[in-house]
Amino acid sequence: MAREQRDFKPDFFYHVYNRGNNKDAVLKYAEDKQFFITLLYRNIYKTDLHLYSYCIMDNHFHLIIKTGRKPTILSKFMQRVTIAYAIWINKRHKRVGHLFQGQFNAKILRYKKDIKKVEQYIRKNPVEKGLVRRPQDYPWSKF
């Protein structure tokens, strides 16, 4: 069944996120996280999207992305990244099947206060999970 076309707006920020199927840790190892980040950068340069910030956790990821003149490319970008990652991780860990829990989520951030609120939320994620004492100490995030 075809997915419904999303209505992304040009020059807006979006909180983009997803988690592992069954809440599984699909980004568990350092090499996995690094490869996911590499895929983000390898694919974003082909678009007019801007990766404002990210935080890659063991079983989910958060991104803040600003759309450009062609906002519909956000779906294609995320599809490229998550499919390439799923193929790589399935091969690497000798597994099959879906990796992520459905299609990615994207919430529009209409105001600066919304961007700051989401940025604070994702900055605190590794601290609240007890992985680091300070957000800047977490190696799998960018702000």
Per domain, the residue ranges of the chain are 13-142
Q: What is the rounded distance in angstroms from the CA atom of residue 15 to the CA atom of residue 54? A: 9
Side by side, the strands of the sheet bearing 13-19 are 105-109, 13-19, 60-66, 50-56, 141-142
Structure confidence at residue 97 (pLDDT): 86
Contact criterion met (CB below 8 Å) for 98 and 21: yes
At 1, the pLDDT band (50, 70, 90 cuts) reads very low
From the number of C-beta atoms within 10 Å of its C-beta (0-12, 13-18, 19+), residue 103 rates as: middle
% of residues, the chain, pLDDT over 90: 90
- Fold (CATH) for 13-142: Alpha-Beta Plaits (3.30.70)
State the pTM of this model: 0.94
Q: What is the rounded distance in angstroms from the CA atom of residue 31 to the CA atom of residue 12? A: 31
At 2, the pLDDT band (50, 70, 90 cuts) reads very low
Residues facing residue 56 across a β-bridge: 61
Residue 4 has pLDDT above 80, yes or no: no
Over range 96-105, report the average pLDDT.
92
At 3, the pLDDT band (50, 70, 90 cuts) reads low
Strands 13-19 and 60-66, by their bridges, are antiparallel
Structure confidence at residue 37 (pLDDT): 98
Contact criterion met (CB below 8 Å) for 69 and 10: yes
Q: Name the residue among 2, 12, 16, 13 with its Cα closest to residue 75.
A: 16
Structure confidence at residue 5 (pLDDT): 61
